[in-house]
Structure 1
């Protein structure tokens, strides 16, 4: 490098330094109201980046004095070797610094750490859609109960091994405090937030109470619009309405769970499902369906009901073996006004909303004893049980009795995150560990993706294409391969999208 280049480089560095000093002095000598043009709102990606679960985003508003922090989502990490460690990580000072929390819907990967946030000191409002509030009452209580049982079991052997005991992330008292902080709102209803921000929920068509979140955020002296897709529904799914399309935004965070593929058409999916059930009946085995308690279970019951009334369902014993799924199914029945009217006509749901009225062979097994009795049935039954990713719940006990039988059929109807038992089965594992025992997998595993409650790639691209004026897109809630595939598909449609990393902070 020559002397002239060195001098030019040094002069450039001095110029940059002087500019920074001048910028700081300008801020220092202006009133707070005049500082707004310097004070940009920021968005920090704290979860569901490079993975599907653990949704969490921190928004900091600096246009007002004092500044305000908003938390968008507070989700549980599910699957993977580090999930427990990450979930246990303290919120620290953030729990008391937050002015408000905004929640798109009630799935645990979006809301499952709310009671932990409250346990650590949060006392502000939790804004959510109306039906989400009712779901949270079921889901968070169930999560606390299951967690307590798991920790109790874990600590038994830790005591014997003289190892440190584990503590629950939260308990039922924390859940009760969390529910008292919830402030529910209807779709399309404008809500004022601290720091001059505004909020509107739109129907995402994913599960009961799911929403697209529109936030108006003061930033640099103007109002910026941030849109978070939440989980966008699959337009082919039953019971839910189609996701609303939004046309105006400055920044869009969009999920990418199935960014790498489209789902099979529903008609073909139902035919495949029917064929699997028929083969299981002919083979003399049971059908195990690990199902998410919210959304997927209700959709599966819908299709089983249709097959039953068409005379195409040979199994005469169907068990919904999940206390939480039972409560959620009963809630869906009470919330008929929120569901798709045309689909409800098919079910002909009576005023009482009793599922047995549209699927007479269905049995709701609430107690542990009823659940255990199912394992005495060696064939001809359909068992729908949680958890959806096979990472806990009663489905594990049914695996224990059925997974090693060639006549068994396991039907996977939802996304299986990396590191979960469900993902191992989908990936063709020949042996898996269930409740401490290693079992051979001789059952046939069927993955039926058409039942997904998430939008596929084409629907995601179509939803993104409705925005005008080319907003900045960030892809979240997806594994890296799915995100890159969606990024490419969006680019082919003229839409540029970035893939943020954990901890990345962007100015709005």
Structure 2
């Protein structure tokens, strides 16, 4: 059995992954084999705190996100926060219902529509929201940018005006790069990472050097990182160590061998030791 990207057990829209009854051999990912995610309650509280803190400066809160899964989970949680806090103000000049949420990704917009069309397969919590007359993937503050000229105009507008907004931007087609080029040097803005940033990528460099007031090079341009850099765990498409271990441990008939793939060496080694502690034969695949 091959696990693929296993997924977190408490995603708000999709049912939790279930272990099969048995497998002779398991090939399992190890992206987060050396760490634990925040619980869903913790991550929602942390997201709310990040927004309350970030929007005080009337800047843009930028979420680089994959079009499938991450974007839809963020929209789901944002709708919940706005619904719950719709009475109080974010600050003196901004109400929650006035906050604009922008998905700048044609692909993400298409997949969000696909998620909506498949709402019959959502988990029970999401279906309960529908019965209450709410739609967590389609609400009044949500706007979609799909044309490139709209995207360029929006980047310039947000950089010039610092109008409060939440932007979920696609990693592809240079969209996120355009935002980073325009906003990273301004302390009014925040960049919030909600997914794994592989070594050697621009995202990993921003995570590493941003808190130190460092810089990154984008398309030959050196940009000082003055925007606040924040990382939220728990929104990854990859299960944490507990999720990986449970997936195998909950099989009625355990595999004879687990092959660990798709992760940094430290994550692989840590996960291997954890499996061995449970008496499960695990090897690191090259």
Give TM-score, length-normalised by structure 1. Answer: 0.51
Q: Does 1:458 align with 2:232?
A: no
Q: Could you tell me how far apart the structure 2 residues matched to 1:303 and 1:354 are?
A: 8
Please name the residue that 2:146 is paired with. Answer: 366
- What's 1:496 paired with? 281
Decide which structure has the larger Cα Rg and report it: 1
Distance 1:289 1:349, change over 3 A: farther
Deviates more, 1:271-280 or 1:426-435: 426-435
Kept in 1: contact 2:22–2:255 (CA 8 A): no
Give the 5 Å matches for 1:87-98. none
* Corresponding residue for residue 445 of structure 1: 229
Contact kept? 2:102, 2:167, Cα under 8 Å: yes
Match in the other structure for 2:93? none
1:432 corresponds in structure 2 to: 216
SS at match of 2:216: strand
Contact 1:276 1:409 in 2 (8 A): no
Relative distance call for 1:401 and 1:500 in structure 2 (3 A) is same
> How far apart, CA to CA, are the structure 1 residues paired with 2:182 and 2:130?
33
5+ residue gaps, structure 2 = 91-95
- Aligned mates of 1:354, 1:340 — CA distance in 2: 13
State the secondary structure of the residue aligned to 1:384: strand
Q: Aligned pair 1:237/2:11, yes or no?
A: yes
Q: CA deviation at 1:250?
A: 1.4
**Cα offset, 1:339, TM superposition:** 2.0
**CA contact under 8 A between 1:330 and 1:354: conserved in structure 2?**
no
Question: Aligned-pair distance for 1:348?
Answer: 5.1
Corresponding residue number in structure 1 for 2:264: 479
Query: How many residues end up aligned between the 2 structures?
Result: 269
Does the alignment pair 1:275 with 2:60? no
Shift of 1:349: 8.7
Q: Distance in 1 between matches of 2:224 and 2:48?
A: 26
Name 1:319's counterpart in structure 2.
Answer: 102
Could you say which residue in structure 2 is the equivalent of 1:396?
177
Match of 1:286?
Answer: 60
Please give the root-mean-square deviation of Cα atoms over the aligned residues, in Å: 2.0
- When residues 371 and 473 of structure 1 are mapped into structure 2, their CA distance, relative to the original with a 3 A threshold, is same
Higher relative contact order (Cα pairs below 8 Å, separated by 6+ residues): 2
For the 8 Å contact 1:237–1:452, the answer to whether it is kept is: no
- Does residue 332 (structure 1) correspond to residue 106 (structure 2)? The answer is no
Report the equivalent of 1:136: none
2:183 paired with 1:410: no
Q: Is the 8 A contact 1:432 1:441 kept in 2?
A: yes
Equivalent position SS for 2:13? coil
Once residues 143 and 255 of structure 2 are traced to their aligned partners in structure 1, the CA distance between those partners, rounded to angstroms, is: 51
